[in-house]
Amino acid sequence: MAGWQQLFWDNTLVSQQSAGSQEEGNSRHQFALTQQTQDGESTQIEVVLDVQLQWQPFVLDYTVTANGSPLAEGQRTTKDIEQQTPYTPPPKPQKFSLVGLASLGFKLLKSAKVIKVALAGASVAAYSWLFSFEFALALIACLMFHEYGHIRAMKYFGMKTKGIYLIPFMGGLALSDEKINTRWQDVVISIMGPTFGLFMSLLCMALYWLTGEIFFAGLATFNALLNLFNLLPILPLDGGHILKSISFSMNSVAGLLACVAGAAIGVFVSYTFGLALLGFLLLIGSLEIVFEWRTRHYSHLLPLDRYGQIFSTVWYLLTVAALVGVIWYFAGTGDDLLGLPLKILQS
């Protein structure tokens, strides 16, 4: 089963039912297969797939018959969906284009290990130019720790990883050779980076309290700013993937309205506390989610259940609040450099 109502046999669509938000209960897919006999004749095999589907929590019971004879039966749960290989359409030949050239360049980027070293060196040089060599190395360590959070989440779901790439002035990128199957995987993989980043900022804060070194204070607040930026609800940032997974798992207009209302409250709070940039980007990201919401039925990703939606939302909001709290705390010390991240949010 791909999406909500499509059935594929050997990567070929053989049965399809209309998409909708209430496709739950009993359903039947019927299709015919052609079998070649040893003497060269063709015979038709009538196949029937009966499905009993429950969304909350997700359980799919199925039976398959061929020409009226039982063939297979079983059950699929969320864990089964997480471990399966996603359907990948066969590539279509494309004419030369800038998009194709960019795609080829990205594939070369993923396969060339020497590029990792070159990008890491460029990142050190870029951050050394902005701050100092020592601070640049520490900041690179924070970025690596953030991306390691993504890698750990990928490995938790049994996915093969390609490693971490550092991009000057943009942060880092954790890559995998495999695709995800569920919205829950998307949420966990996306949010574990900022969560690891939050842990790093809290560790630096503790070291600042123990030693009094301003170096650790600067590292804590700028690392918090980078991770907070990653949580903005704008694709392809981590926050965009999280908000998209939550909102696209809501199977009713009421769910979308609740998501929009929550975003509106976030915008109001941002402007109330003078975080103009954060509020503006939150508004833009929310509008992007609304525009893409109509296509949610055609995704192959298994949606979050109600518990997953609530848990993901709370996890996201607590992480954002904690990162803002770190920035706010160090801005209150009166140091101009430590107050810079808060001024950026207020700009």
Kindly report which listed range (64-68, 104-108, 131-135, 171-175) carries the lowest average pLDDT score: 104-108
Q: CA-CA distance, 201 to 52, in Å (whole number)? A: 48
**Which pTM was predicted?**
0.69
Specify the pLDDT at position 314: 93
306 or 100, higher pLDDT: 306
* pLDDT band at 16; cut points 50, 70, 90: confident
Q: CA-CA distance, 32 to 14, in Å (whole number)? A: 8
Q: Is the pLDDT score of 45 beyond 80?
A: yes
Place of tokens 């080829």: 104
Least Cα distance to 318 among 144, 208, 198 occurs for 198
Q: Is the pLDDT score of 289 beyond 90?
A: no
327 or 113, higher pLDDT: 327
The mean pLDDT value for 82-93 works out to 62
Q: Is the pLDDT score of 288 beyond 70?
A: no
294 or 187, higher pLDDT: 187
Count of Cβ atoms closer than 10 Å to residue 131 Cβ: 16
Which residues are CB-neighbours of 99 under 8 A, at least 6 positions away?
Answer: none
Q: What tokens appear for 138 in the block? A: 């520490």
* pLDDT band at 187; cut points 50, 70, 90: very high
The mean pLDDT value for 122-136 works out to 66
The mean pLDDT value for 303-330 works out to 91
Q: Is the pLDDT score of 93 beyond 50?
A: yes
Specify the pLDDT at position 2: 42
Specify the pLDDT at position 302: 83
Least Cα distance to 174 among 145, 191, 150 occurs for 150
Beta bridge partners of 302: 182
pLDDT in tens, 159-170: 887 776 666 655
pLDDT in tens, 320-341: 999 999 999 998 887 777 888 7
pLDDT in tens, 194-250: 999 999 999 999 999 999 888 888 889 988 988 888 887 776 678 888 888 887 787
Which residues are CB-neighbours of 190 under 8 A, at least 6 positions away?
Answer: 150, 238, 239, 241, 242, 245
Specify the pLDDT at position 79: 83
31 or 171, higher pLDDT: 31
Q: CA–CA distance from 24 to each of 61, 72, 291 (Å)?
A: 12, 21, 25
3-state helix, strand, coil in the chain (%, to 5): 55, 20, 25
Q: Within a 13 Å sphere around the CA of 257, how many CA atoms are in the beta-carbon half?
A: 3
Q: What tokens appear for 318 in the block? A: 């607590």
Average pLDDT over the chain, rounded to an integer: 77
Distinct helix (H) and strand (E) counts, the chain: 11, 8
Q: Is the pLDDT score of 63 beyond 50?
A: yes
Specify the pLDDT at position 1: 40
Report whether 230 contacts 193 (CB < 8 A): yes
Specify the pLDDT at position 319: 95
The mean pLDDT value for 100-127 works out to 58
